[in-house]
Amino acid sequence: MKDSLYLAWRYLRHHRAKTLLLVLSLSVFLGLPLVMRAMSRATQQSLLARAEATPLLLGKKGSSLDLVVEALYFQLKGAEPITEADVDAIHATGLALGIPIRTGLMARGFPLVGTSLDYFPFRRLRIAEGRGLAMIGDCILGAEAAKTLELGPGDTLLTSPSTLFDLAGVYPLKLQVVGVLEPTYGPDDKAVFVDVKTAWVAEGLGHGHQDLALAGPDVVLKRNEGTVTANAKLVQYNEITESNVDSFHFHGDPSGYPVSAAIVVPHDEKAGVLLRGRFVDAPTRQLVRPSQVVDSLNKQIFRFERVLQIVVWTVGLATAVMFVLVMVLSWRLRAEELRTMTRLGCSRWKAAQIMGSEIALMVGASVLIAGLFGIVMAQYGETWLQNLILRGS
């Protein structure tokens, strides 16, 4: 057997290009269906797990999938917002806890998520480094965001401008990184968490500037009773610090400010049923069960996966036929070699063993490559596929 393997190895090594092509084709044939299936299952389970951990979700009436994708996975879909008053109303029912979720802005490529302190114990998020949110302007980084941005407590992080070329638009806000979360291997790892008020400031709904009472005449255009009008020389703060935090304020009633959605955590099952009943006929709001929405998404994925598997198996079959054809043609081309073997006294069994060893080596290498591919995909594929599905949904 050792000799057969040796001869097979030398033959395959000599015909590197052909061998490589066959091995790669076989790897795809062997690996793709398994990897697709495993990834799809893992993704479905992962999506469902997060959805099932979120009892109810309140949002503007419209696509429930967009709402879930935005509030649970922080993928920017631009669902119509509700208001802080809706979150307060949930609290006021005494039936549930309302956790606001405000998404829409980014910070160096990671979604900025405005929420309340209740979010962290609700998701069982633990601080790995630093501390929790204490004042507006603070931010906590998910594990992957911290690792990618190479930031930790004590560092600062600028929000990304929403309109790069609009000089009159909202300027980036410099956030103080006060903590880093332990990894959860979910969307929370790739988020930058701030208090919802900080998110509003970052959006330009709140702001801080120098005290107008102390401002000189070169800044103040006019003073009326209770109203001071300043010109562009007024210093606007782009960072919230202990010394200027008191100058930050909101104009108007913050209860009318936007939140993308609210996670609703009923105190018990009955409370959940009651709340859902209240929103059945709500004209502009919807209260959805994320698990149902994701389940329906998973069914779509499953259907898509079945179609994809048929395609993959068809391609696989073609690959297998090609492999057999190449091997048969190769042996026909090697008829002289086989004849020499026979004339020298090699048995048919030995000749078959040598040819079999060539196939075994190629299949072995293909299984190895498919296995490595599977390991890599198991490591990164789920996230990749999740992003693909959520962004494409």
Partner 1 sequence: MLGYIRQPVISLRDVGFEYAKGGFSLDVPELTVPSGARAAAIGPSGSGKTTLLNLISGIERPRSGEVSTAGVRVDRLSPAARRSFRITTIGFVFQEFLLLEYLDVLDNILYPYRLHPELRLDASVRSRARRLASDLGLASLLNRRPSELSQGERQRIAIARALVTAPKLILADEPTGSLDPATKKQALDLLFEQCDARSTTLLMVTHDHGLLEQFAQIVDVEALGPTEA
Contact (CB, 8 A) for 149 and 141 = yes
Q: Between 19 and 387, name the residue whose CB sits nearer to partner 1.
A: 19
Contact call for residue 320 and partner 1 (CB under 8 A) = no
Segment interacting with partner 1, rule: CB under 8 A, options 13-21, 46-54, 58-66, 299-307:
13-21
Long-range contact pairs involving 42-46 (C-beta distance under 8 Å, separation at least 24): 42/378, 42/381, 42/382, 43/301, 43/382, 43/385, 43/386, 43/389, 44/298, 44/301, 44/302, 46/186, 46/382, 46/386
Coil, strand or helix: which one is 50? helix
Q: Tell me the C-alpha distance between 226 and 27, whole Å.
A: 75
Contact call for residue 352 and partner 1 (CB under 8 A) = no
CB 12, min distance to partner 1, A: 9
Which of 13, 267, 299, 303 is in the footprint of partner 1 by CB under 8 A? 13
The 149-188 site mask, x for binding partner 1 (CB under 8 A), equals ----------------------------------------
Which of 15, 61, 209, 285 is in the footprint of partner 1 by CB under 8 A? 15
Which of 216, 217, 226, 345 is in the footprint of partner 1 by CB under 8 A? 345
Segment interacting with partner 1, rule: CB under 8 A, options 5-13, 61-69, 124-132, 255-263:
5-13
**Lookup: tokens for 140:** 């906590």
Contact call for residue 343 and partner 1 (CB under 8 A) = yes
Burial class, 13, CB count within 10 angstroms (exposed 0-12 / middle 13-18 / buried 19+) = exposed
Which of 89, 346, 363, 367 is in the footprint of partner 1 by CB under 8 A? 346
Under 8 Å CB-to-CB from 106, ≥6 apart: which residues?
A: 76, 112, 159, 160
- Give the phi and the psi of residue 195 in degrees, each rounded to 5: -70, 150
- Provide the CA 78 distance to its chain's centre, in angstroms: 16
Contact call for residue 329 and partner 1 (CB under 8 A) = no
CB 329, min distance to partner 1, A: 17
Which of 231, 241, 255, 340 is in the footprint of partner 1 by CB under 8 A? 340
Indicate the residue type of 81. P
Q: Tell me the C-alpha distance between 371 and 377, whole Å.
A: 10
How many Cβ atoms from other residues are within 10 Å of residue 317's Cβ? 11
Q: Between 18 and 299, name the residue whose CB sits nearer to partner 1.
A: 18
Contact (CB, 8 A) for 141 and 227 = no
Segment interacting with partner 1, rule: CB under 8 A, options 3-11, 174-182, 235-243, 303-311:
3-11
Q: Tell me the C-alpha distance between 25 and 32, whole Å.
A: 10
CB 350, min distance to partner 1, A: 6
Contact call for residue 14 and partner 1 (CB under 8 A) = yes
Q: Between 13 and 306, name the residue whose CB sits nearer to partner 1.
A: 13
Which of 221, 337, 384, 388 is in the footprint of partner 1 by CB under 8 A? 337
CB 346, min distance to partner 1, A: 4
For helices 348-376 and 2-14, angle between their N-to-C axes, nearest 10 degrees: 60
Q: Between 15 and 37, name the residue whose CB sits nearer to partner 1.
A: 15
Q: Between 4 and 44, name the residue whose CB sits nearer to partner 1.
A: 4
Which of 91, 347, 375, 380 is in the footprint of partner 1 by CB under 8 A? 347
Q: What is the DSSP string of 161-185?
A: PSSTT-TTSPPP-EEEEEEEEPP-S
Q: Between 42 and 341, name the residue whose CB sits nearer to partner 1.
A: 341
Chain residues binding partner 1 by CB under 8 A are 3-4, 6-7, 10-11, 13-15, 336-337, 340-347, 350
